Amino acid sequence: MPETPDQNANDNAALTKPELVCPAGTPAMLRTAVDAGADAIYCGYRNATNARNFPGLNFSPKELGQSIAYAHDKGAQVLVAVNSFPPAGEMDLWKEGVDTAAELGADALIVADYGVAAYAAQTHPGLRLHLSVQGGASSPNAIKYFCREFGIRRVVLPRILTVEEIRGIHKQIPCEIEAFIFGNIGAMAEGRCSLSNYLTGVSSNMDGACSPASHVRYEEDPRGDLHIRLGGREIDRFTPGQTPGYPTICKGRYTTPCRDEPYYAFEEPVSLNLSRLLPDMMRAGVTALKIEGRQRSRAYVRDVVGAFRRAVDDIMAGRDPHLADLVALTEGGKETQGPFATKAWR
């Protein structure tokens, strides 16, 4: 437990080695991530109970059991995400997910919903609970609330805070911090967004899928321009040679009366890459560094996890980390430090 109170006192404070928490959309990807040096893997069931409910992804209970055995055998942990919001009347599926994770020996359950958290805390008091980024706890008091009520041991912070703010939060909360360092970054507060549902009828919160592929259309016009539609609306357009990222409303381009040209009203189609902020994040009291991307390929996970494994180990050993290759893996080849570096992002 990296809970040394004077850790934030100065930049020369001793670094505590953070856990590298990596995504797995399939059992094969889980094994790849473990082999590439992940300390912990997060994954979910093949249904609406988790926030990456995409076709062809995720785990059956049997696969989860086998995967937990594989990870434990190699000294890695498995964190099971049951982090969407069951609509009233449909809680049984989520409760079943909680029970299964407990029975299979998951190292922690990642939850967001008050009802799911309450059920897990009451039914499986020994099961470690993490508060999902979907829980929307963006201030120390919100985090303290979840810790007090559900015994949350770790919070996954929203991707809207600066490193300085994370440092401040760390001093005020009784649980560990997990923070995103790489991957797709949404501009919206997680767990509080129904933009995708507005156009598609599929809810990020209740169905576990934002911008489902079934509602995305790519249309090439005679000039070779690529028109990207979600739920019938054209939300971006690319000329030949440009690399489009995966289309979401929050990274779409729009017009508005005060702008002459279409603009990215919320966020550019960029990926988060905090590799250069890693030492700062580690000093800010972050226990676990999280890589987004359960929907990405095994090769992607192998490369990203491997690169961050080396980087963390280099920093711990006092060497300069090499992270240039990671830019090539970011969405559309464009990266950002997003809100983490400075409040100017806001």
Binding residues for another protein restricted to 150-189, rule: CB under 8 A:
158, 160-161, 165, 187-189
Tell which positions 247-266 bind another protein, by CB under 8 A.
249-250, 252-259, 262-263, 265-266
Task: Report residue 226 as tokens.
Answer: 């690529």
314: left (phi over 0), alpha (psi -120 to 50) or beta: alpha
Number of residues in contact with another protein under rule CB under 8 A: 75
Q: For another protein, which is the closer residue by CB, 115 or 279? A: 115
Among 46, 53, 28, smallest CA distance to 134 is for: 53
- Minimum Å gap between C-beta 193 and another protein is 4
* 3-state SS class at 289: strand
Question: x/- contact string, 224-243, with another protein (CB under 8 A)?
Answer: ---x-x-x-xxxxx------
- CA–CA distance, 138 with 270 (Å, rounded to integer): 22
Read out DSSP for 88-100?
TT-THHHHHHHHH
CB of 110 to another protein, least distance (A): 15
Token output for 115:
């009802």
Which residue lies nearer to another protein by CB, 85 or 308? 85
* Smallest distance, another protein to C-beta of residue 90, A: 7
Distance CA 21, CA 18 (A): 9
Instruction: By CB under 8 A, name the one of 145, 246, 314, 332 that touches another protein.
Output: 145
The beta strands (E) that lie in 87-231 are given as 108-111, 129-131, 154-156, 176-184, 216-220, 226-230
Contact 87, 206 (CB under 8 A): yes
Judged by CB under 8 A, does residue 66 bind another protein?
A: no
By CB under 8 A, what part of segment 263-302 binds another protein? Answer: 263, 265-267
Please count the CA atoms within 13 angstroms of the CA of 83 that sit on its side-chain side.
26
Q: Which one of 3, 17, 198, 220 is in contact with another protein (CB under 8 A)?
A: 198
Task: Please give the residues from 310 up to 339 whose contact with another protein meets the rule CB under 8 A.
Answer: 339
CB of 208 to another protein, least distance (A): 12
Q: What is the DSSP string of 103-165?
A: HTT-SEEEE--HHHHHHHHHH-TTS-EEE-GGG---SHHHHHHHHHHH---EEE--TT--HHH
Cα separation of 96 and 161, whole Å?
33
The nearest distance, CB 80 to another protein, in angstroms, is: 18
According to CB under 8 A, which one of 7, 50, 53, 138 is a site residue for another protein? 138
Distance CA 240, CA 287 (A): 43
Cα 334 to its chain centre, rounded Å, is: 18
Binding-site member from 74, 103, 114, 213 for another protein (CB under 8 A): 114
Site for another protein in 20-59 (CB under 8 A): none
Nearer to another protein, 14 or 344 (CB): 344
In the block, tokens 């050993």 appear at 317
Least CB distance to another protein at residue 49 (A): 12
Residue 128 in tokens? 């470690």
Residue 141 binds another protein, judged by CB under 8 A: yes
Kindly state the smallest distance separating residue 136's Cβ from another protein, in Å. 7
Contact 99, 123 (CB under 8 A): yes
Nearer to another protein, 90 or 325 (CB): 90
Pick from 118, 213, 299, 327 the residue near another protein by CB under 8 A: 118
- Name which of residues 81 to 110 contact another protein (CB under 8 A): 85-91
Nearer to another protein, 24 or 129 (CB): 129
Q: Which helix (H) or strand (E) holds 72?
A: helix 61-73
